[in-house]
Amino acid sequence: MAETSSDPAGAGRYAPSPSGDLHIGNLRTALLAWLFARHSGRRFLLRIEDLDDRAKAGVAEAQLRDLRSIGIDWDDEPMRQSDRRTAHDAAIDTLTAAGRTFECFCSRKEIQAAPTAPHAPPGAYPGTCRDLDDDERIRHRAEGRSPAIRLRSNTSRFTIVDDLCGRYTGVVDDFVLRRGDGTAAYNLAVVVDDGAQGIDQVVRADDLLSSTPRQAYLATLLGLPVPDHTHVPLVLNPAGQRLAKRDGAVTLADLALVGVDTAQVLSLMARSLLMAKKDESVTTATLLDRFDPTRLPDGPWILDPHDLW
């Protein structure tokens, strides 16, 4: 069984990857996660998900400054996933001892080229290495291949209930738990670390909804509680694409250069959530007093950054 927090109050969280400055879409999701947690009397925690190859030095500190500048506070020091390797490995060892893992020597290209089972969704693991014998594994190692560790799933689908999206059934294949370089994969790390931090409420963008059944299923295998999930709509550009730095001045630093200050950004986000009037100055404390989860907009926020200046 994976480690669990003894905190009886529960907690919400925000868990950015330090691959670049937070933009308005990221900040809006962080604000919502904070509002949901504080409104429900939970603690609010941060986790720096720095296992990604794109993680850059100094970015996490800049992200924390931006969160503080819009009025978001948190309890305890932020957890860093890169400090959690022992816990991630222990969880994989537990699954391995239960016969729930196997070594996979496939490259991404080989997986994409392999035929999949009938009715399997695009990208689902085709099971190539699921039943390799010892000789085959020895041969792959002799070729210089370092295996990833995959979950040996005994289901193809799993259903979760999301507070905004309702019942959602998603694919659960033999997904990666540890990459070939020895680093824990996202789906494993997020489950183990949520358990360790006592996270029982996850508020995040709805582009992550499809990964939630995998994580919920894995939590049940590790004896961890499945958090309540709320997947909130993204911020999109006028073309209907996820907002990104390519859209112009969308970070606090870039907006400051064109005369848009942090207070204006918070007001703009509040208006997008139907929690402030045009040009009204607000604080996070004001928004917490006004927060009503049942009155949030149910569609994406379409934002043209050029309208900000």
245 assigned to a ligand binding site: yes
Q: Give CA–CA dist 217/158, Å, rounded.
A: 7
80 assigned to a ligand binding site: no
Per DSSP, the chain holds a count of helices (H) and strands (E) of: 10, 12
pLDDT tens by residue, 63-83:
999 999 999 999 999 999 999
204 assigned to a ligand binding site: yes
The residue ranges of every structural domain in the chain are 11-78+197-205+224-301, 86-187
Q: Judge if 11-78+197-205+224-301 and 86-187 fold alike in CATH terms.
A: no
With a cut of 90, say whether residue 163 has pLDDT above it: yes
Q: Which fold has domain 11-78+197-205+224-301?
A: Rossmann fold (3.40.50)
The pLDDT of residue 120 is 62
104 assigned to a ligand binding site: yes
Give the 3-state secondary structure of residue 153.
coil
Output the CA–CA distances (angstroms, integers) from residue 188 to 81, 152, 249, in the order listed. Answer: 11, 13, 34
CATH number for region 86-187: 3.90.800.10
Q: Is 297 exposed, middle or buried (0-12, 13-18, 19+ CB in 10 A)?
A: exposed
Token code pair at residue 88: 């991630």
Contact present, 173 and 140 (Cβ < 8 Å): no
Output the CA–CA distances (angstroms, integers) from residue 38 to 12, 63, 143, 157, in the order listed. Answer: 8, 20, 53, 33
Please calculate the CA angle 206-198-215 and round it to the nearest 5 degrees.
40
Token pair 């909804």 is found at: 209
pTM above 0.85, yes or no: yes
Q: Which of 1, 39, 2, 11 is nearest to 295 (CA)?
A: 39
The pLDDT of residue 5 is 67
Q: Which of 34-38, 220-224, 247-251, 259-263 has the lowest mean pLDDT?
A: 247-251
165 assigned to a ligand binding site: no
14 assigned to a ligand binding site: yes
16 assigned to a ligand binding site: yes
Eight-state DSSP code of residue 224: P
Contact present, 128 and 114 (Cβ < 8 Å): yes
The pLDDT of residue 35 is 98
Token code pair at residue 204: 């995040």
pLDDT tens by residue, 39-48:
999 999 999 9
Contact present, 190 and 215 (Cβ < 8 Å): yes
The pLDDT of residue 8 is 65
